[in-house]
């Protein structure tokens, strides 16, 4: 029995008597395994005595045998689990099944290049989320073709009272902000969150520039002589550039530290500091989005809400600075004029953020997400790192090495904590940093990856993720941790990191206590009803479900924010707090910052 059993019995959630009487179930990756990889399945609710298992081929012949490894009660799933390790079996084939305790698993394959289709489908998600252009059946599939959403988007600034009663003066200009990616299941387009998603795609390109050549993805730009991955990334980069405020523009915004929430208000509603007029030239607007939430379903071409620019923020400005600097580095020699345009925008954004370091998002507008962030030292570090890697200039080197994030312990990146992105860049791109400084940064990334592998040993399903406290978007967090495992593998060559990545993908694709593949189109029981205004077949039979390669946000036991999730509160633990329901936005939304690391990891596996 697992060494943690004593404290689990002392008060953590165990499988209920009713669950213990359930028929045993085998949870595994429903698409299969590559021949040389770790092959692990989980047997759930079969007691705590080792059991004999068989591996059957497509004809039902036993081609492998062994005994289960007992883990015992597992806090992350609320189940009693055992593991089936058949890593030693490498024979390629289809239709394999595991049999144990009178039950048989789903059929699966053992084959090379298993993740190549997933990498391409995960990338196609971004084409399907494009705004400002028709989605063509040739590239998306006939079911998902649609007219352009917001085809010519010229927006002015929000003016008037927000939902908390704060009065905003607006601005004197409009911007053409056509294009970009819809962020998630709504029609908002956000610079914060667009930034990390864009960086992730561009980092995949920087890591392997030849991995996605012209013609490799299903996009209209195929055939133009440029990497398709750069083409897809450019769609979002162009939009971010359009969100930058012209030089000389003034804005009246809250400027200064956010205050404590007013009595009775939640922690995510800090008090707004006094308004001040600032030189806003070079800053980026936080988002362009609807004045009010649209209903489900509302295909983008049917959105009739007013589209507005929401106030500029320092966080959005630094997201622009970082990705535009990265753009300048990667488009050199590909499109020098575009590279120069990106670098100029990055410099303007950096200067604007230096002038206005405390202009925060207030999360107080209806109709769109807030992406509020009250701590921006990580964004300053990330932007400085990208600018330094691109320019080599001493001012950016000093900003990097003087940051508290330089050499600090690394954790998985997120839209609200982007410092790891800067560390990955500085650890993998040749700069003027000394060998000792680079090795220090690499050591922090490797240590983080080792910590994720330790997490794998602390939960019954053997995934590189914590046992409890699954937040909103836990699947995206898991993929970001898997991405760091990939970085550590690149830096060290150690095979243990690939084993961790495989375990993370196994979980997404069915080795979980809900026996579900969280990736649409992959597996025997995959995501069907994401929170999305166009992929809404459950509400309107004329609309499609999700295309293949879309990742659900996944289990969430920390924020039961929607009515469907609220019904699960108190009835689920960690990995079981999920429902495949279009109304469950806290559990089952999709988002560019979650699909981006899924793509990165699937592309890494396809190496």
Distance CA 110, CA 284 (A): 48
Give the mean model confidence (pLDDT) for residues 123-142. Answer: 98
Whether the bond into 175 is cis, omega within 30 of 0: no
What is the DSSP-derived secondary structure letter of residue 551?
A: B
pLDDT band of 10, cuts 50, 70, 90: very low
User: 209: left (phi > 0), else alpha (psi -120 to 50), else beta?
Assistant: alpha
Query: Could you report the per-residue pLDDT of 147-205, keeping only the tens digit for each?
Result: 999 999 999 999 999 998 999 999 999 999 999 999 999 999 999 999 999 999 999 99
Give the containing element (helix H, strand E) for 71.
Answer: strand 69-74
With a cut of 70, say whether residue 14 has pLDDT above it.
Answer: no
Residue 269's pLDDT is 76
Distance CA 604, CA 607 (A): 5
Query: Could you report the per-residue pLDDT of 321-354, keeping only the tens digit for each?
Result: 999 999 999 999 999 999 999 999 999 999 999 9
Residue 480's pLDDT is 98
Query: What pTM, to 2 d.p., does this model score?
Result: 0.96
User: 141: left (phi > 0), else alpha (psi -120 to 50), else beta?
Assistant: left
Confirm whether 116-284+317-354+374-419 and 434-607 share one CATH topology: yes
Class of domain 5-110: mainly beta
What is the DSSP-derived secondary structure letter of residue 531?
A: B
Question: Beta strands 103-104 and 25-27: pairing type?
Answer: unpaired
pLDDT band of 364, cuts 50, 70, 90: confident
Query: Could you tell me the residue ranges of all domains in the chain?
Result: 5-110, 116-284+317-354+374-419, 434-607
Residue 259's pLDDT is 84
Tell me the range of 310-314, 365-369, 467-471 where mean pLDDT is highest: 310-314
With a cut of 60, say whether residue 16 has pLDDT above it.
Answer: no
Residue 1's pLDDT is 32
Give the mean model confidence (pLDDT) for residues 264-270. Answer: 75
pLDDT band of 467, cuts 50, 70, 90: confident
Query: Could you report the per-residue pLDDT of 566-589, keeping only the tens digit for each?
Result: 999 999 999 999 999 999 999 999
pLDDT band of 266, cuts 50, 70, 90: confident
pLDDT band of 44, cuts 50, 70, 90: very high
Active site residues: 186, 531, 580, 589
Distance CA 466, CA 451 (A): 10
What is the DSSP-derived secondary structure letter of residue 526?
A: B
Angle between helices 377-391 and 336-355 (to 10 degrees): 140
* Cβ burial 565-602 (10 Å sphere, 16+ → b, else e): beebeeebbbbbbbbbbbbbbbbbbbbbbbbbbbbbbb
554: which 2 tokens?
A: 């996944």
Place of tokens 């996944």: 554
With a cut of 70, say whether residue 453 has pLDDT above it.
Answer: yes
Give the mean model confidence (pLDDT) for residues 292-305. Answer: 98
Q: What is the mean pLDDT of the chain?
A: 95
With a cut of 90, say whether residue 47 has pLDDT above it.
Answer: yes
pLDDT band of 271, cuts 50, 70, 90: confident
More confident residue, 265 or 156: 156
Tell whether domain 116-284+317-354+374-419 is in CATH 1.50.10.10.
yes
Residue 455's pLDDT is 96
Residue 373's pLDDT is 93
Give the mean model confidence (pLDDT) for residues 229-239. Answer: 99
Share of the chain above pLDDT 90, in %: 92
Distance CA 317, CA 387 (A): 14
Q: How far is Cα of residue 279 from the mean position of the Cα atoms in its chain?
A: 33
The 10 Å Cβ neighbour count of residue 148 is: 15
447: which 2 tokens?
A: 């240590």
User: Strand pairing partners for 181?
Assistant: 130
Q: What is the CATH number of domain 434-607?
A: 1.50.10.10
pLDDT band of 607, cuts 50, 70, 90: confident
93, with CB counted inside 10 A (0-12, 13-18, 19+), is: middle
Question: Taking the chain, what is the end-to-end CA distance rounded to the nearest angstrom?
Answer: 37
Residue 456's pLDDT is 95
Backbone angles phi, psi at 246, to 5 degrees: -65, 150
Q: Which of 353, 317, 341, 338 is nearest to 243 (CA)?
A: 317
Query: Could you report the per-residue pLDDT of 190-228, keeping only the tens digit for each?
Result: 999 999 999 999 999 999 999 999 999 999 999 999 999
With a cut of 80, say whether residue 514 has pLDDT above it.
Answer: yes
């Amino acid at each position: 029995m697992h060494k943690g059993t004593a404290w689990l019995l002392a008060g953590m959630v165990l499988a209920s008597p009713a669950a213990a009487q359930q028929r045993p179930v085998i949870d595994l990756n429903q698409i299969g395994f590559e021949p040389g990889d770790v092959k692990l399945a989980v047997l759930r609710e079969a007691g705590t005595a080792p059991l004999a298992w068989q591996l059957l081929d497509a004809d039902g012949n036993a081609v492998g045998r062994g005994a289960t490894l007992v883990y015992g009660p597992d806090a992350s799933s609320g189940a009693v689990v055992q593991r089936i390790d058949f890593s030693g079996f490498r024979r390629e084939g289809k239709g394999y099944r595991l049999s144990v305790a009178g039950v048989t698993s789903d059929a699966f394959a053992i084959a090379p290049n298993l993740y190549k289709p997933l990498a391409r489908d995960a990338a196609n998600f971004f084409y399907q989320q494009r705004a400002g252009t028709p989605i063509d059946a040739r590239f998306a599939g006939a079911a998902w073709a649609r007219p352009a959403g917001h085809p010519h988007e010229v927006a002015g600034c929000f003016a008037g009272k927000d939902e908390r009663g704060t009065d905003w003066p607006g601005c004197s200009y409009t911007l053409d902000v056509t294009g970009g990616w819809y962020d998630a299941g709504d029609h908002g387009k956000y610079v914060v969150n667009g930034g990390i998603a864009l960086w992730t795609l561009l980092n995949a390109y920087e890591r392997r520039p030849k991995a996605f050549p012209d013609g490799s993805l299903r996009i209209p730009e195929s055939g133009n002589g440029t990497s398709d991955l750069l083409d897809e990334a450019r769609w979002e980069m162009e939009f971010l550039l359009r969100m930058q405020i012209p030089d000389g523009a003034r804005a009246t915004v809250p400027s200064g530290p956010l205050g404590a929430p007013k009595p009775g208000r939640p922690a995510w509603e800090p008090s707004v500091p006094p308004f001040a007029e600032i030189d806003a030239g070079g800053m980026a607007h936080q988002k362009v989005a609807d004045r009010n939430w649209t209903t489900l379903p509302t295909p983008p071409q049917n959105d009739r809400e007013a589209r507005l620019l929401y106030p500029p923020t320092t966080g959005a400005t630094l997201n622009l600075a970082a990705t535009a600097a990265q753009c300048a580095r990667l488009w050199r020699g590909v499109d020098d004029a575009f590279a120069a345009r990106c670098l100029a925008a990055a410099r303007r954004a950096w200067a604007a953020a230096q002038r206005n370091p405390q202009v925060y998002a207030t999360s107080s507008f209806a109709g769109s997400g807030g992406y509020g962030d009250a701590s921006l030292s990580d964004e300053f570090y990330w932007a400085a790192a990208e600018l330094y890697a691109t320019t080599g200039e001493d001012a950016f080197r000093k900003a990097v090495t003087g940051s508290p994030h330089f050499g600090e312990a690394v954790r998985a990146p997120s839209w609200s904590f982007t410092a790891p992105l800067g560390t990955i860049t500085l650890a993998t791109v040749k700069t003027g940093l000394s060998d000792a400084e680079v090795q220090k940064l690499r050591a922090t990334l490797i240590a983080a990856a080792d910590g994720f592998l330790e997490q794998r040993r602390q939960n019954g399903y053997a995934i590189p993720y914590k046992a409890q406290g699954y937040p909103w978007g836990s699947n995206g967090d898991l993929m970001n941790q898997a991405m760091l495992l990939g970085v550590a593998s690149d830096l060290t060559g150690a095979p243990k990191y690939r084993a961790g990545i495989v375990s993370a993908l196994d979980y997404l694709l069915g080795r979980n206590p809900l026996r579900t593949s969280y990736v649409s189109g992959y597996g025997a029981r995959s995501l069907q009803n994401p929170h999305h205004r166009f992929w809404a077949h459950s509400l309107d039979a004329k609309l499609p479900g999700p295309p293949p390669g879309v990742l659900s946000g996944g289990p969430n036991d920390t924020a039961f924010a929607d009515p469907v999730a609220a019904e699960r509160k108190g009835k689920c633990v960690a990995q079981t707090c999920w429902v495949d329901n279009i109304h469950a936005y806290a559990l089952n939304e999709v988002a560019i910052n979650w699909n981006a690391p899924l793509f990165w990891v699937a592309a890494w596996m396809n190496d």
